[in-house]
Amino acid sequence: MGEAKFDVEGRYQSARFGKLRVVNVYVPNGTGPNRDLSRIPYKLAFSRLLFDLLEKEKKRGGRILVMGDFNTAHEEIDLARPKDNVKNSGFRPEERAEFSRWIGAGWVDTFRRFHPGAPGHYTWWTQRGGARERNVGWRIDYVLASPAAMKFVKAASIHPGVMSSDHCPIGVTLDPAILKVNS
């Protein structure tokens, strides 16, 4: 990303496939070492720098997919127990406002585009208390598409049955024409 305080944590990868830019991110968690909220300013600064790095290309009509763990449940529908978590990192107003800024600037939450209003779709579950089995989770992993890329997104999915970690895979189905120069 070009900023040492973020680059040292290795949270950003970018690759180009023809006309498509794919950015994989692991946005910092806002919870500090003492289970406090001390890393929220760092998390927000990371997100703002990422936004700034991509915004010019998006405005020029760039086909961009930004995917990964954003460590934020954007709306109440994106976690099983919103009222219980308003004071926790990942659902704090300032974190949600930063995510809303992306959406307000034209980035598309691909899953919500194809599944508007569908509750109970999560990508992360705590490993305590059988949360995954009871589907008490959070949707904190996203594929965001620039408007130019969204034209080629045909579907978006979450795969909760894949049990390789406390997260599950997410994905999008793309029209292969997204890679072509003249599409």
Tens of pLDDT, residues 118-172: 999 999 999 999 999 999 999 999 999 999 999 999 999 999 999 989 999 999 9
First to last CA, the chain: 29
Q: What are the phi and psi torsion angles at 143 (to 5°)?
A: -120, 110
The dihedral sign for the CA sequence 82, 111, 113, 179: positive
Q: What is the pLDDT of residue 83?
A: 97
Number of residues in the chain: 183
121 contacts 158 by C-beta, under 8 angstroms: yes
Q: Which of 69, 78, 109, 141 is catalytic?
A: 69
In this prediction the pTM is 0.96
Of 70, 94, 90, give the one whose Cα is nearest residue 80.
90
Domains of the chain: 4-179 (3.60.10.10)
For residue range 69-100, what is the model confidence (pLDDT) as tens digits? 999 999 999 999 999 999 999 999 999 999 99
155: helix, strand or coil? strand
69 in active site: yes
DSSP state, residue 84: G
